[in-house]
Structure 1
Amino acid sequence: MEESPAAKLTCRELDVLRLLVHGLSNRLIARRLDISEKTAKNHLSSIYMKIGATDRTQAALYARDVGLIGPGEAAPPVPAFTPVPKDDAPPAGPTLTARERGVLRLLARGFSNRLIARHLGISEKTVKNHLSSIYMKIGATHRTQAALYAQCVGLTS
């Protein structure tokens, strides 16, 4: 029986990953764990390699998928907002356009702005504009929060 990638992480790497899921920056992770920013960055690089992620968004989504949340600890809070409507559902809560939902789905799958642009046949600048609009509508401040929101409301399926 093969062990999961999460089982290969050290205790410190698990701590870093749990803080990452909460949306903390490298600086805040370092302060919380009383380590240098460089050490936090090195831990993240090691985590990415071990779990097969390419960036913090993929790592955060992975951590949520496998339940890497401490005992008795609730899942990280998602900003208070109403779920995004499905493509065929009537709008409720923050109304994202069909294109914004498409951008958010790809973001939640870990695509970079460049790959989102290529996949949708739009410019990177347009992707950035859509992301700014999405962040404002759902109350996110960065792509990891937006990806976790998308997962929470079922846009990743």
Structure 2
Amino acid sequence: MARKLDISEKTAKNHLSSIYLKIGATDRTQAALYARQTGLIGPGEAAPSAPAFTPVPDDSAPPAGPTLTARERGVLRLLAVGLSNRLIARRLGISEKTVKNHLSSIYLKIGATHRTQAALYAQYVDLAS
């Protein structure tokens, strides 16, 4: 992001901290969700600094979306509201390693490469409510 804006990494971090404070976010996931909810980025649209991501199948794909297990949906729902792996594990009574395994499976099924994309997907398919 710093290179793209032609500013130092420290300046970028300072701007992000200021933005987080103003919108009440604690991390990039929450900031991305805020951006989506306020219309700064559209449904399924990746944040500008993130790789492109299309959470819905295109016309050539089968109509059904990825099949997540009930546990994966639960993990994804908690991730979408901004919980860390540790807090997800505590909430569900499982280990952090198990949460990481579920997230890896979720990422593979929905085509995400990181938790922000997964959280945006959850918002898009209305898992976070």
- For the 8 Å contact 1:113–1:127, the answer to whether it is kept is yes
Report the equivalent of 1:120. 92
Judge conservation of contact 1:107–1:143 (CA < 8 Å) in 2: yes
Runs of 4+ in structure 1 off by over 4 angstroms are none
1:151 corresponds to 2:123:
yes
Corresponding position: 1:98 with 2:73: no
1:79 aligns with one of 35, 54, 57: 54
Contact 1:81 1:94 in 2 (8 A): no
Confirm whether residue 54 of structure 1 aligns to residue 29 of structure 2.
no
What code does the residue aligned with 1:121 have?
G
> Which of 126, 129, 133 is matched with 2:105 structurally?
133
RMSD: 1.5
- 1:80 offset after TM fit, Å? 4.7
Q: Cα offset for 1:30? A: 1.1
- Distance across 1 between alignment mates of 2:90 and 2:103: 15
Distance 1:62 1:137 in 2: 24
CA contact (8 A) 2:55 2:121 kept: no
Structure 1 spans left out of the alignment, 5+ residues:
1-28, 83-91
Matches of 1:44 and 1:52, distance apart in 2? 12
User: Which runs of no fewer than 5 residues in structure 2 stay unpaired?
Assistant: 47-52, 58-63
Looking at structure 1, the residues matched to 21 and 104 of structure 2 have their Cα atoms a distance apart, in angstroms, of 30
Give the Cα–Cα distance (whole angstroms) in 2 for the partners of residues 96 and 113 of structure 1: 18
How many residues are aligned here?
116
Q: TM-score, normalised by structure 1?
A: 0.69
Spell out, residue by residue over 1:56-99, the C-alpha distance to the aligned partner (whole angstroms, 9 max, x if none).
00011011111124xxxx652542544xxxxxxxxx33111000
Q: Which has the higher contact order (CA 8 A, sep 6+)?
A: 2
1:41 aligns with 2:4: no
For normalisation by structure 2, the TM-score amounts to: 0.83
User: Share of identical aligned residues, percent?
Assistant: 82
